[in-house]
Structure 1
Amino acid sequence: MNSRGAVLVCVTGQRDCDRLIKAGKRIAEERSVPLHVLCVQPTSAGFDADCEELEYLRQTSRDVQAEMSVYFHDDAALLAVGFVKQIGATHIVTGMAEAPVNGFVEVLHKLLPQIPISMVAKDGIIYNICPTNRKAVPARMMNA
């Protein structure tokens, strides 16, 4: 796990998610930490995933010196939580939930209440969910 932390950008595989990557890059630069991009596609997407869109996002990630990982899984939020822990992310960037709300951000915040989440709207405005105030917890309990 990265002791310095990292910024994780969660994208859906749509071309306009490039705004999330750019916002994540600014946050990562402010904190002097690496940037990672994660795309979780439903397993049913399989070969039907839009490869052109994913390639565009991969190139956008590469342009800002970020590593992009693509997984096929039916529970994007749960996979993202595991990925956050794997890379030691200290900040998460997502898009804004649209109707119908799928609960992705809510699950992230519930399972990772100590990590700030920045949600980037289509117009570029960034909304933040701040960490829940908690009493200090010993490090060994945080990793459990």
Structure 2
Amino acid sequence: MNTPKKILVCVTQQKTCERLIKKAAKLKDSPEDELFVIHVAKNEWNFLDNIKEGEALEYLFDISKTVGANLTVLRSDSIVKTISDFVHDNRINYVILGESPNDHKENKFAEELKSQTKNVEIIVIPQQEF
């Protein structure tokens, strides 16, 4: 018997992250597989006062529910550490990320996350699939 997959999707406050959630849902092979969706906001980000960002998170929450996942929103100034702690605490074995836009290629988010999470497959979904 196979061990159930535990898949984590990392989202920003953009509706385009819907594709990441749907892509992750396709990785589920059995009803025992679990899907988690997480958004980590820096402490100084006030997304609840920003109508567009609040709407986007509500939209992603609804999409998450349709694929049987819960959307967790956490606050932290150390986004990579917060996600790696979540991965460890929930025994995640797959992490789905969206590729950074071309103007953010210096952002080494995926590499930092890989260095802090062992025995986890990190899947970066290319920008053109958005």
SS in 2 for 1:106: helix
> Do structure 1's residue 81 and structure 2's residue 46 form an aligned pair?
no
d(CA) in 2 for partners of 1:87 and 1:45? 25
d(CA) in 2 for partners of 1:72 and 1:123? 29
Partner of 2:128: 123
Residues 5, 88 of structure 1: 8 Å contact kept = no
> Do structure 1's residue 44 and structure 2's residue 49 form an aligned pair?
no
* Equivalenced residues, count: 123
d(CA) in 1 for partners of 2:39 and 2:90? 15
Provide the TM-score with structure 2 as the length reference. Answer: 0.84
Q: Deviations over 1:30-88 (max 9, x none)?
A: 69510000001111112445110000000000010101100111221110000001111
Gaps of 5+ in 2: none
Which residues in structure 2 correspond to 1:1-144 (within 5 Å)? 4-29=4-29, 32-46=32-46, 47-49=48-50, 50-98=53-101, 99-100=103-104, 101-124=106-129
User: Which range moves more in the overlay, 25-34 or 84-93?
Assistant: 25-34
Residues 98, 126 of structure 2: 8 Å contact kept = yes
Residues 21, 64 of structure 2: 8 Å contact kept = yes
Identity %: 27
- 1:111 partner amino acid: Q
SS in 2 for 1:45: coil
Gaps of 5+ in 1: 126-144
Structure with higher RCO (Cα < 8 A, 6+ apart): 2
Provide the TM-score with structure 1 as the length reference. Answer: 0.77
d(CA) in 1 for partners of 2:20 and 2:117? 20
d(CA) in 1 for partners of 2:31 and 2:121? 13
Q: CA RMSD in A?
A: 2.0
